[in-house]
Amino acid sequence: MAVQSVESSTTSSTSGAFGPAVALSCRECGERFELGPIFACEACFGPLEVAYELPAGDPEGLRRQIEAGPNSIWRYAPLLPVPADVAELPSLNPGFTQLVKADNLARELGVTGELHIKDDSGNPTHSFKDRVVAIAVQAARTFGFTTLSCSSTGNLAGAVGAAAARAGFRSCVFIPHDLEAGKVVMAAVYGGELVGIEGTYDDVNRFCSELIGDPAGEGWGFVNVNLRPYYGEGSKTLAYEICEQLGWRLPDQIVVPIASGSQLTKIDKGLKELIAIGLVEDRPYKIFGAQAEGCSPVSAAFKAGHDVVRPQKPRTIAKSLAIGNPADGPYVLDIARRTGGAVEDVNDEQIVDAIKLLARTEGIFAETAGGVTVGVTKKLIEDGLLDPSLTTVVLNTGDGLKTLDAVAPTTGPSAIIRPTLDSFREAGLA
């Protein structure tokens, strides 16, 4: 299945369906393959990623084209593995979420440069997962899959269910059977099949891999398995949007949460692409990774100076980041070290404090993953690892409404009073 040159893949039957993408390329050995529903290198079992022939030579024209595009990730269609007319196809149209200039938070953290929150809770199902799923859906359409699937601990299940409903796919998603009731409702309400698996998330994952190899899984696109190379590209749009919203300028520092590590690697890929095309000036940037102490395999490896990541058994309130054996961990270590960044972690109490800090200063109610990035930013500044005089962007990848339990025990009314002015005055609130 390996191809000798870029040309052979662009003349395939799916020509145009993947826009500027020309092949899948092994991240480990560089072997190239035709664009297809595959995710591991036949030669070395390394992960595959999308390779492009990106538009070059007219950055000004491209910039104008992007700025005139839709208010969604599809404005970046010329840089994604999607057809040029992708915005006309049914999709949740995620992305182009707010980049919030966080002056109040900056003051509290002693940041004298610009501090921004990239707030991805504004996506259709209120997490960054809508970005990655949107690209996977488009690939599923091209490959002729009729069922969309995934293994999930909740957020991804909802994103897949919603995207499938809009785009006209059947969906069948798999979750551990003992998820919180709220997450089950969110995953089931879109009307697809939702299957609870008696086992852990790892059991769910293993089962999905089995299903892909079985006739029962024929015609199924698993967004985070056999469509993973396309899915992952959705995270590049975070990098594109941040730079465009900064006025086509690289941030000096970015703080990114780490679950599998994929998002961080794709943000780096996106920034490098913008530099290569000439859409932003080529100058250094630092990427910082953020983990929860209760699931900090990458942070531990970074601090120990290791190149390999030793798996951990997760135990943290930041459940959307609770991947104990992150597939892209080693790549994250590379990027943090190459760019001069770092990987840090915060404990559950610091996560809750950071959620409240962000809410109190900027009116943004983040899910626990946002508490992790804001908490880590605070810690990095205190430790002198993040320069408070530069331009920094911190990611919030999800919505506090999905992780209410994290703050509920310590968040309530200031007072309960009778409906009288006397009672109000007694409470000392006037």
Q: Contact between 248 and a copy of itself (CB under 8 A)?
A: no
Residues with Cβ < 8 Å from 298, sequence gap 6 or more? 258, 261, 289, 291, 309, 326, 329, 332, 333, 343
Q: How far apart are CA 37 and CA 223, in angstroms?
A: 10
Q: For a copy of itself, which residue of 172, 243, 277, 298 counts as binding (CB under 8 A)? A: 172
Give the strand pairing for 48-52 and 32-33: unpaired
Q: For a copy of itself, which residue of 104, 325, 339, 347 counts as binding (CB under 8 A)? A: 104
Q: How far apart are CA 85 and CA 392, in angstroms?
A: 34
Q: Contact between 278 and a copy of itself (CB under 8 A)?
A: no
Q: How far apart are CA 32 and CA 14, in angstroms?
A: 17
Q: For a copy of itself, which residue of 175, 242, 250, 321 counts as binding (CB under 8 A)? A: 175
Nearer to a copy of itself, 98 or 339 (CB): 98
Give whole-number Cα distances, 129 to 43, 154, 197, 298, 373, in Å. 30, 11, 22, 21, 17
Q: In what order do the strands lie in the sheet with 286-292?
A: 99-101, 115-119, 392-396, 253-257, 286-292, 343-346
Q: Contact between 385 and a copy of itself (CB under 8 A)?
A: no
Q: Contact between 397 and a copy of itself (CB under 8 A)?
A: no
Q: How far is the CB of 298 from a copy of itself (least distance, A)?
A: 27
Q: How far apart are CA 309 and CA 259, in angstroms?
A: 13
Segment near a copy of itself (CB under 8 A); pick from 54-62, 195-203, 296-304, 305-313: 195-203
Q: How far is the CB of 170 from a copy of itself (least distance, A)?
A: 10
Q: Contact between 111 and a copy of itself (CB under 8 A)?
A: no
Q: Contact between 68 and a copy of itself (CB under 8 A)?
A: no
Q: How far apart are CA 316 and CA 350, in angstroms?
A: 12
Q: Contact between 335 and a copy of itself (CB under 8 A)?
A: no
Nearer to a copy of itself, 265 or 373 (CB): 373
Q: How far apart are CA 342 and CA 258, in angstroms?
A: 12
Q: For a copy of itself, which residue of 8, 29, 177, 349 counts as binding (CB under 8 A)? A: 177
Q: How far is the CB of 210 from a copy of itself (least distance, A)?
A: 6
Q: For a copy of itself, which residue of 199, 278, 324, 330 counts as binding (CB under 8 A)? A: 199
121 and 400 Cβ atoms separated by less than 8 Å: yes
Cβ burial, residue 100 (10 Å; 0-12/13-18/19+): buried
Q: How far is the CB of 196 from a copy of itself (least distance, A)?
A: 4
Q: Contact between 359 and a copy of itself (CB under 8 A)?
A: yes
Q: How far is the CB of 123 from a copy of itself (least distance, A)?
A: 8
Q: For a copy of itself, which residue of 110, 340, 418, 426 counts as binding (CB under 8 A)? A: 418
Q: Contact between 161 and a copy of itself (CB under 8 A)?
A: yes
